[in-house]
Structure 1
Amino acid sequence: MRFVFLRHGRTAENTVRRISTRRPGPSLDATGRRQAALAGRRLAALPNVVGVVTSPLRRAVETATIVAAAVDAPMQVAEELAECDAGEIEGRLHDDIAAQIDETWHRWLRLGDLDHPFSPAGECARSAVDRVGCLLERLDDRGGRDDTIVLVGHGTLFRIVLPHLCVNLTPEFVLADPGIDNVERVEVVRVAGSLRCESWRGNPLPEPIRATPR
């Protein structure tokens, strides 16, 4: 099975880097709707897209609705793809608390402290990794070997969970990456029972990134 992780289209909050992790959240802006349409056309070229699964946040649902129409596949909402809850920094501008956010990423990815919360009253990385991992297992059990499923969600969520779920990704690789932009995608396949990242933001991964599986 192939999983295509697609970040939602742009919102007004994205343009000012305002933290928005809770529902319903903002809608796509005009650029975001155009981005979603373009992403849908590109995804329609992939073989055997059998479903689109989306975060319940409004911007993701709007993106997924456009993509599902383009690929002619059913759409469903999955709570497991909701953005990682930011806790007390919800609604703040990223640039105002950049040092705090950098420290959180350092603890999550460099130190491996998955129980550290996003901020006080926020979600920890372990919770996000566990819920997305469970979702992928369920989808894998129901799908065929050659099926492709598009998962529409959020940049922070994907950067947290994918280096902990994919055997060939390291936290160092993700930390060095500038981040997943709107409607950029990450492609992951299951091989011999393990998840492997084939491309990150549309670029094939250099091999090997991780020498041995977890």
Structure 2
Amino acid sequence: MSTVVLLRHGRTAANSGGVLAGWTPGVGLDDTGREQAAAAGRRLAGVPLAAVVASPLQRCQETARAVLDADPGRGLGLETDERLGEVRYGDWTGAELKRLAKDPLWKVVQAHPSAVTFPGPEGESLRAMQARAVDAVRAWDARLGPDATWVAVSHGDVIKALVADALGLHLDGFQRIVADPCSVTVVRYTETRPFLVRLNDTGGDLAGLLAPPKGAKRRRRRSSDAAVGGGAGPA
């Protein structure tokens, strides 16, 4: 069972100012965001990570480096994957959210996101964003192996789309999911299905992400599926 820790980047001035940053270069963490990233790093310190992979955008790179700096004993370097990058919002990039909310497309983004392709030559569809993000996570799972725990530092809409996929939820429902700055969302992938372990977690102990004792691993594998009509999967 591979486990991915989806970590949203810390707060930026664009977040606090209500601006859709998208792929705008030079958008880094603000003071609050740096504190959030450092706290996330401390929460993950001691968790035996196989990799830390980040979107190429500055705010994610800074957040990922805070995770690595909190536990340098792991000896990991920062990996970058463009497929974990922000949605390409096209002509909406850099606009204030209060202005975008008056655009007729805004209602479609909220109610029927699977139908949306953002305007302009650089605009991306939300379907394409979800597909590339899911492909990235699956590829890193395969590369790192079935017992790996790793961190993917990404963006709010990307994480929400990954959670929707893990839950078997249509993309049109992904706006019901919340991913706050520097929140931790954890998905465990098994041979049969993913399990959502944590969602939008901004505090508390992450010791549950530690690998189980050797003797417990086999027992947990045998119970990795819930009974048909039963309750949740593994704890």
TM-score category (smaller protein) = 0.7 to 0.9
Contact 2:111 2:172 in 1 (8 A): no
Shift of 1:199: 1.5
Provide Cα deviations, 1:72-107, integer angstroms capped at 9, x if missing partner.
Answer: 332111111110011111111112222543421311
Contact 2:127 2:171 in 1 (8 A): no
84, 87, 93: which one pairs with 2:87?
A: 84
Q: Secondary structure at the match of 2:118?
A: coil
Q: What residue is the counterpart of 2:198 in the other structure?
A: 199
Higher radius of gyration, 1 or 2:
2
1:79–1:172: structure 2 CA closer, same or farther, 3 Å change rule?
closer
Instruction: Give unmatched runs, 5+ long, in structure 1.
Output: none
Shift of 1:161: 3.6
Letter in 2 for 1:152: V
Identity within the alignment, %: 30
Shift of 1:66: 1.1
The answer to whether 1:37 aligns with 2:42 is: no
Q: What residue is the counterpart of 2:132 in the other structure?
A: 131
Q: What residue is the counterpart of 2:216 in the other structure?
A: none
Contact 1:104 1:118 in 2 (8 A): no
Instruction: Give unmatched runs, 5+ long, in structure 2.
Output: 203-225, 230-235
1:55–1:197: structure 2 CA closer, same or farther, 3 Å change rule?
same
What is the 5 A alignment of 1:90-109? 90-99=93-102, 100-108=105-113
Shift of 1:157: 1.7
TM-score, with structure 1 as normaliser: 0.82
1:29–1:173: structure 2 CA closer, same or farther, 3 Å change rule?
same
What is the 5 A alignment of 1:1-214? 1-46=2-47, 48-71=48-71, 72=74, 73-99=76-102, 100-108=105-113, 112-113=114-115, 116-121=116-121, 122-163=123-164, 165-169=165-169, 174-177=174-177, 179-202=178-201
Shift of 1:162: 2.7
1:127–1:119: structure 2 CA closer, same or farther, 3 Å change rule?
same
Contact 2:112 2:172 in 1 (8 A): no
